Structure 1
Amino acid sequence: MHTRSRRRSRGLAVTASLVLTGTLLTACGGGDGKPTLNWYINPDGQETLNQLASDCSTDEYDIEIQLLPSSATDQRTQLARRLAAGDTSTDLMSLDPVFVPEFASAGWLEPFTGDLADQVLDDDVLEGAAQTVQWDDQVVAAPQWSNTQVLWYRKSLAEAAGLDMTQPVTWDQVIDAAADNDGTVGVQANKYEAYVVWINALIQGAGGNILDPDTVEAGRDAKVTIDSEAGRDAAAVIQKLADSGAAQADFTTSNEGTSLGQMYPDDGPGEFMTNWTFVYQNYAGAVGQPGGPADESALEDLGWVRYPQTVAGEESKPPIGGITIGVGAYSENLDFAQEAALCITSPEAQTQLAVNEGLMPSRQSVYESDELTEAYPADLLELWRDSVDTGGPRPQSAYYSQISSAIQSRWHSPTSVNPDTTPTSSAEFLQAILSGEALL
């Protein structure tokens, strides 16, 4: 074994020295034989990610950015096609956590083992983030940044409704408060992945799951558990919002951007909204801009609390998202790629992504750093950190794409959701999809 130290091109170093084994693979590269690692990224945070690619390049390899499509589904498709063909040029990839089990199960991800695995998942990594990178008792990816949802709201609207936001609030309370005060409730209910995020969080918040977590790794043989009291509680929330005056005009096609836009106008009561961490930077950056909040007083009226409870007294399960870094199993530069993965997910890298791009860390220590405490309100950082640490992931199944599509097909449109029928019909259809008895 031998330890190799390298000069970082801009001084960003991996926090721990890496001990690597074996003979380095010869790879295609420039005329001097120096290999290039291709890093396929999603479009979020491109400026900082390009900087990280430069910072984490060394005297022995360069990292080059390759841009994936904006849609998570299209990102998965492009990467899956490459890896299914045994593509040796896919070295690093930014993966939505829901696709990690599929890629790992297919043998497309090179696991981190030994000391490398210990560095990827040390005690500093938040529990919610750690869950998303493990499969079959192996560490198959490295958490880079974490996403979660909180309840954003206009303080003036909550005050007018007499809602005590220092205590946990339920979906029923939020919907009633908005409806009774000419406000709205912003969600993501278009027929796409974010709608499944909402459904899953509602079900988990009621103590249930779409699939039995103890059987989810069984793949097609997993036990479907969406037809449950928790499933009916979740459907009841969606039905109540759909039937209330708090539903927004674009309810059935709403997404992250449209729901945020409803928070800006200052000529009305505003909204309650569940949405991701990007909201704070976007809202603060839009103050005084056309179509944005009028002035700083509007920013001062923006509040945030933990994701609403599905059932009163049952702790909510905020959604978990973000990006993990996988190393392609067919890469000709596995040692280099895994070393690079640790660099681009290091505390320094996560700090840059959080401060520059609003992409929150997966590490406890970064939330406590001077850079973040200067960039964000302390209570918001604490809320995000706790939400990531105690939130709930979507089903960690190698068949997640089919699961998500099956749920969407039976729960959309949200205006047709019925607690008496939707959980049952979706369970039957999902079971048929997993068993190969039905097609999407």
Structure 2
Amino acid sequence: MGRGRRRLAAAVVLALSAGLLTGCGDDSGVPVVTWYINPDNGGQSRLAERCAAAAGGTYRVDVQVLPNDASQQREQLVRRLAAKDSSIDVMSLDPPFVAEFANAGFLRPFDPADTATLTGDVLRGPLQTAYWKDQLVAAPFWANTQLLWYRKSVARAAGVDPTATGFTWDAMIRAAESQRKVIGVQANRYEGYMVWINALVASAGGEILGDVEAGKDASPEIAGPAGDDAARIIGDLARSPAAPPAMSTMGEEEARSAFQSPSGGFMVNWPYVYSAAKESVASGGIGQDVLDDIGWARYPRVAAGTPSKPPLGGINLTVGAFSEHPEQALDLVRCATSLPNTIAYMLDAGNPAARGAAYDDPGVRQAYPMASVIRQSINDAGPRPITPYYNDVSTSVQITWHPATGVTAPATPEESAAFMSDVLQGRRLL
């Protein structure tokens, strides 16, 4: 997850040009470190060039681009690592998959001596995703979170302040209804929907899965007060006039389109939407008045007296367990996750840094006027369940909570818990 809305064409170009980093068919004897990345705008490839140059030519980097979809990225890597593929040196891994890969023995743990270097000043949210069984198995590279985006004119007309400490989902739904506007969300049956559900459950003080280290014997906790709160909010919005058309097929880009339209009022989405709106102005897709009308705030609360737990996305860097170049791979990870390079990558690729100090950089603050809100939201974010069975957990939730118009409390959380337990115990197949 995270930005997720990258152009496939750019990814293809990167894949075809990866040989420029390595000099494909290199016969010089210099080790070639292969870095499997999620698609971006070329920022990781440019970072790979800088790190290889900084290493003084002691290794080269070959960048291999994975599919756009996070689940497809996971599937491709799992197949290779199950076959003990030694060509996988470094991976850009979606945080929810770290526990699965580590538990299967696919990741090379970092030595305690590297812990301070790889985790220093890393914000609390992404740091939670970097460990498995008390071992550091991943280095947070970039992190992500969702903000509440709102049209200033709509909030003003509705008499609400989305930046107020106690602003809730219920208040937002009422405000949108009063102005006959819609709320952009991600409610298609995909990982983005799981992100929303998890954020609501966590913001209500609960969790989807408890006792995660018990593996398949972990306890589904979604059936309870927090799950009921999440179901009520989702169902209320889906059956409300504030629901956008085709809400149950809506992803990040569909939510952005609805928000930028004349009917847009509010939206929860990743920070990339702000730069995307500026690009839309430049291309003539929307007017400057729309961009000027966009405000931002922390993710809305479930209960006015309880701080929200915003979604957490991003990418962690990991070293493959079967790598033939572990020292060079570690050097690349150290280089890529250093503070100067995470700042450079944030400005280049538009993906928020995992290190808190990056948000004090003048260039970052100029490019991201909401930098302080992003940093605090990432720090306070609620990760999705950290379990080796995450794919089963996520898919179970997506199946039982879709479509959003059918979500009710307590029926949906109870069905979800029973279904998830059956899947984990092998009594049902996905």
TM-score, normalised with respect to structure 2: 0.92
Superimposed CA distance per residue, residues 242-289 of structure 1 (whole angstroms, 9 cap, x where no aligned partner): 111010102010000010012223xx3522000011111111222142
Whether 1:375 and 2:367 are equivalent positions in the alignment is: yes
- CA separation in 2, counterparts of 1:110 and 1:54? 23
Q: After superposition, what is the alpha-carbon deviation per residue over 1:339-371, rounded to whole angstroms, capped at 9, x for unaligned? A: 111111111221122112210000011110122
Q: SS where residue 287 of structure 1 aligns? A: helix
Q: Is the 8 A contact 1:157 1:269 kept in 2?
A: no
Specify the alignment match of 1:396 in structure 2.
386
Q: Greater shift after overlay, 256-265 or 97-106?
A: 256-265
Q: Distance in 2 between matches of 1:420 and 1:391?
A: 25
1:235 is matched with which residue: 220, 231, 236?
231
Say if 1:32 and 1:356 are closer, same or farther in 2 by CA, change over 3 A. closer
Partner amino acid, structure 1, of 2:77:
L
2: distance between equivalents of 1:332 and 1:424? 47
The answer (yes or no) to whether the contact 2:229–2:409 under 8 Å persists in 1 is yes
Instruction: Give the partner amino acid of 2:281.
Output: V
Q: Residue in 1 aligned with 2:156?
A: 159
Match of 1:248 in 2: 244
Aligned length: 403
Unaligned runs of 5+ in 2: 1-23
Note the alpha carbon deviations across 1:210-249, whole angstroms, 9 max, x for none. 012xx11111111111000110010000111011101010
Aligned to 1:107: 105
| Native 8 Å contact 1:156 1:269 kept in 2 | no
For 2:411 and 2:179, how far apart are their aligned partners in 1?
A: 31
The match for 2:418 is 428
Instruction: Please name the residue that 1:12 is paired with.
Output: none
Take 2:242 and 2:156, find their aligned partners in 1: how far apart are those partners? 17
| Contact persistence 1:29–1:36 (CA under 8 A) | no
Contact 2:47/2:345 (8 A) holds in 1: no
3-state SS, counterpart of residue 423 of structure 1: helix
Could you say which residue in structure 2 is the equivalent of 1:405?
395
Aligned to 1:200: 198
Deviations 1:197-218 (Å, cap 9, x if unpaired)?
A: 0000111111110012xx1111
Query: Is this contact kept in 2: 1:175–1:246, CA < 8 A?
Result: yes
Which residue does the alignment assign to 1:74?
72
Q: Are residues 1:224 and 2:220 paired?
A: yes
In the TM superposition, residue 332 of structure 1 has moved relative to its aligned partner by 0.2
Distance in 2 of aligned mates of 1:384 and 1:280: 12
Q: Is the CA contact 2:125–2:379 (under 8 Å) kept in the aligned structure 1?
A: yes
- Alignment equivalent of 2:311, drawn from 304, 316, 319: 319
Between the aligned partners of 2:342 and 2:205, the Cα distance in structure 1 is 32
Aligned-pair CA distance for 1:374: 2.3
SS of alignment partner, residue 262 of structure 1: helix
Q: How does 1:164-175 map to 2 (within 5 A)?
A: 164-168=161-165, 169-175=167-173
3-state SS of 1:56 partner = helix
Conserved in 2, the CA contact under 8 Å of 1:91 and 1:331?
A: yes
Paired residue type of 2:111: T
Secondary structure of 2:259's aligned partner: coil
In the alignment, what sits opposite 1:20? none
Contact 2:151/2:264 (8 A) holds in 1: yes
Counterpart-to-counterpart distance in 2, 1:133 and 1:29: 34
- Whether the 8 Å CA contact 1:88–1:332 is kept in 2: the answer is yes
